[in-house]
Amino acid sequence: MNLRAGAIMLFAVGSFSVMDAGLKVLSPRYPPLQIAALRCFSSLPLIVIWIALRGGFREILRVRFALHVARAVLGIMMLGTFVYGLRHLPLSEAYTIFFVAPLLITAFAALILRERVEWQRWVAIAAGLTGVIIVLHPTGAGMATLPGLAVVACAIGYALSVILVRIAGRTDSTMNMVFWLMIMMGSGSALLALPQWRPIEPRHWLVIAAIGAAGFLGQLGITEAFRVGEASFIAPFEYSALAWGLGFDWIVWHAIPGARAFAGAAVIIASGAYLIRRERRIPELAETAITTAP
């Protein structure tokens, strides 16, 4: 299950990176909470079609609403703070600060979900974070700024949201979780954004459509990944967003990565590859132990 969840997570991270690039394009023109509402409502038609095709509306009310309300509150906070951070930081730098999230997810999974986290996974996660540091060589100044702290708050909210997905996933379907998250997040963000709402410029409708499609695919993927896999195993695949962030910074915002970026990327990829290899070997080692037991 973990290997399947990891593959889904890679796809989800790529989709969310496309969405984040679109959010950064919109961030200088609209308030953060308005962008959060646009992100949710632009994905909602696709979500409704998807649920209708699968006949999921018959069970749409069979959910634990308290958990979904908690996720929605965290989601509004996450989107608002992340969009604010994107307004002032390069995409790759925002990702660097956000990459404290996998460590938080692993810690929360151990403390709240009581998942067993082997020391090898801790080492792999730390190695991935080291790769991020190599890429961007942060001085620590960005962490002390208000945009940097906003991204840290987003990372904490994201880690807690992942834990809620794991808990809700024991009884609620992926369709229900995605549907109610978008409904609640979109409605809450829109209400909070009304006093500062700005008219949408015609040239931004295509960007909003791309955000909606990428957000739908990413939300679907990440919800399914954390529903079926162990949070502590899936978390390091977040690091793959770094490659997307560097690519968008280079192509769209003309920030060219150097040799340090490629060295750090190699470390990140190696840590992810180690986790996958280890996960494949665990069943083999268990079978060997059983067959060689006296």
pLDDT in tens, 65-98: 999 999 999 999 999 999 999 998 889 888 888 8
3-state secondary structure of 252: coil
* Domain extent listing, the chain: 2-292
pLDDT reported for residue 163: 92
Give the 3-state DSSP-derived string for 62-110, with helices as H, strands as E and coil as C.
CCCHHHHHHHHHHHHHHHHHHHHHHHHCCHHHHHHHHCCHHHHHHHHHH
Q: How far apart are CA 176 and CA 43, in angstroms?
A: 14
Q: Using one digit for the tens of pLDDT, what is the confidence trace for 237-283?
A: 888 888 888 889 889 988 776 677 678 778 877 887 777 666 656 55
Length of the chain: 294
213 or 127: which leads in pLDDT:
213
User: 3-class DSSP state for residue 201?
Assistant: coil
Distance CA 76, CA 192 (A): 10
Report pLDDT for 8: 92
pLDDT tens-digit series, residues 186-195:
999 999 999 9
- The pLDDT of residue 288 is 32
Mean pLDDT of 42-68: 90
* Mean pLDDT value across residues 194-199: 96
How far is residue 203's CA from residue 46's CA, in Å, rounded to a whole number? 22
